[in-house]
Amino acid sequence: MKQYRNRTTRRRPNINAREKYANPFEIGYSKRKKNSSFAKILTVMAIAFFVIIAGMLFFANGQDYINEKFGEDSFLGSIFAKISKNNSAKKQGPEFNLPFGPRRENILLLGVDSNGADSDLWVGTRTDTIILMNIDPKTKTVNAISIPRDSKVYLPDGMGTQKINAAHAIGGIKMTVKTIEDTLGVKIDRYIMFHDEGVKEVVKALGGVDIYIEKNMHYDDYAGKLHINFKKGKHRLTDKDVVEYLRFRHDANGDIGRTKRQQWFLRGLLADLKKPETVIKIPKIVSVTSKYVKTDMTPYEMTQYAALATHFDMDNIEIAMLPGAPNKHGYISYWILDPEKTQKVVDRLIYRQKTDVAKEHYSASIMSSPDKKAEANKLVKALENNGIKVICSGSTNSTHSQFIAHSDYVTVDYYAKLKKEIPEVKSQQFVYQPDSYPCADTDFTIILAGN
């Protein structure tokens, strides 16, 4: 039986460095149908599930409401009874009583497509969204690594070289878990899978989601019956619109751009879930998730994660995508993982390794949209007055503000300290990106996006 190392000891990702610039090839699985389902937003669905539970508890007067809607002896009724008991005892004991103790857990989030049949939703489906979350109950923090679905990996059991999203179609959840464990050198504790139809149904239940679309999107696929026609700007996306928005990949960024749009959709969905009027829609949303969610978590574990999720701070969630480069062989596109940089991402976000010392001097880049030039100039002066050298200032057409850490010395803790010392540094999505620099080779980049 395979033995895993102690969690404090990392195992190197199983990536052949010689393949970094090799021409890739594909073995053993058929082409995906053009009308296959849209890209999944797994992080959205996982956190949404937890937010739904918390919302039902805190906005609907707790247990009486749940018993009335679902029944006292129902699955959800038992969940909320335990949450209510924990919530009422907050001041008398610890906030969480996780069944696995205070140690960190690795949760694998998978979004699966349609298999084109009316049979089992989970058989023969590809995992088009793969996110590995590391949850630390002690610090109440979450790190998340997005794994591009086109990543070229070795599948176990002699299945050869494949795209990572083929593992589930070939060998189900067991092969998917083993592939990721072997590739990244990690131990996966639990998994949660969501079917793509669930995303559509949740948006339908909410009556739409507010999204700012960063560019004009136009694409027609008559064979696949896909027609995308969005203009740049604010939109209230319907369930049909969301399918088109999340499937769009026909620009210079390809599938990597689609992965980033999943993150923006996440924030838009969470904003809608937090609205008070959402409470009356919760029964419908819960019925959707119960149909389209598959997990190896017990109900008790779900209640504990739900309680923990109420303490998550979106500004303290560190995210990263596995570094690499696109490579195409004929009609087949791959994402070739960079071994060294992938190791750095895993060490930082999964094993939570930190540098013991701080740098004496930091450098920064500032990217801003045209309507944020004045704010950018003010930020440059504030940073330089605090001893941070601004090496590069540039323009961007991005519509999403970010704080991007390039150096290992720039952590979430450093960012929190920076915001306190320099009020001009606002709260933004924190991203670890060691493989590319929007402006220059600096310790971090601040993107000030406008409309």
Digit-coded pLDDT (tens) for 340-359: 999 999 999 999 998 877 88
Least confident range of 267-271, 326-330, 347-351: 267-271
Could you tell me the two tokens for 349? 């976000």
The one-character DSSP state at 276 is G
pTM of the model: 0.73
Higher pLDDT, 395 or 304: 395
Average pLDDT rounded to a whole number, residues 49-72: 46
pLDDT at 23: 40
Q: Is the pLDDT of residue 237 over 70?
A: yes
Average pLDDT rounded to a whole number, residues 177-201: 90
Assign 233 a pLDDT band (cuts: 50, 70, 90).
confident
Q: Is the pLDDT of residue 150 over 80?
A: yes
Higher pLDDT, 6 or 331: 331
Assign 240 a pLDDT band (cuts: 50, 70, 90).
confident
Average pLDDT rounded to a whole number, residues 388-401: 88
- 423-444 burial, b at 16+ Cβ within 10 Å, e below that, comes to ebbeebbbbbbbbeebbeebbb
How far apart are the C-alpha atoms of 127 and 36, rounded to whole Å? 12
Higher pLDDT, 271 or 234: 234
DSSP string, 277-324: GGGGGHHHHHHHHHHHEEES--HHHHHHHHHHHTT--GGG-EEEE--E
Task: Find out whether 262 and 209 touch, Cβ atoms under 8 Å.
Answer: no
Question: Residue 388: how many CA atoms within 13 Å on its side-chain side?
Answer: 24
Task: Find out whether 129 and 39 touch, Cβ atoms under 8 Å.
Answer: yes
pLDDT at 32: 39
Assign 435 a pLDDT band (cuts: 50, 70, 90).
confident
Average pLDDT rounded to a whole number, residues 354-365: 88
> Among residues 104, 86, 107, which one has the least CA distance to residue 95?
86
> Among residues 255, 248, 240, 239, which one has the least CA distance to residue 165?
255
How far apart are the C-alpha atoms of 383 and 69, rounded to whole Å? 54
Higher pLDDT, 187 or 250: 187
3-state secondary structure of 434: coil
List the helix and strand counts (H, then E) for the chain. 12, 19
3-state secondary structure of 77: helix
In degrees and rounded to multiples of 5, residue 321 shows phi and psi of -115, 140
pLDDT at 96: 44
Higher pLDDT, 22 or 73: 73
pLDDT at 342: 95
How far apart are the C-alpha atoms of 418 and 440, rounded to whole Å? 20
The one-character DSSP state at 164 is T
Could you tell me the two tokens for 423? 């009020």
Average pLDDT rounded to a whole number, residues 168-196: 93
DSSP string, 112-151: E---SSSS-TTSS--EEEEEEEEEETTTTEEEEEEE-TTB
Question: Residue 82: how many CA atoms within 13 Å on its side-chain side?
Answer: 19
Helix pair angle (63-70, 75-88), 10° resolution? 180
How far apart are the C-alpha atoms of 99 and 87, rounded to whole Å? 17
Higher pLDDT, 16 or 360: 360
Q: Is the pLDDT of residue 14 over 60?
A: yes
Assign 410 a pLDDT band (cuts: 50, 70, 90).
very high
Q: Is the pLDDT of residue 197 over 60?
A: yes
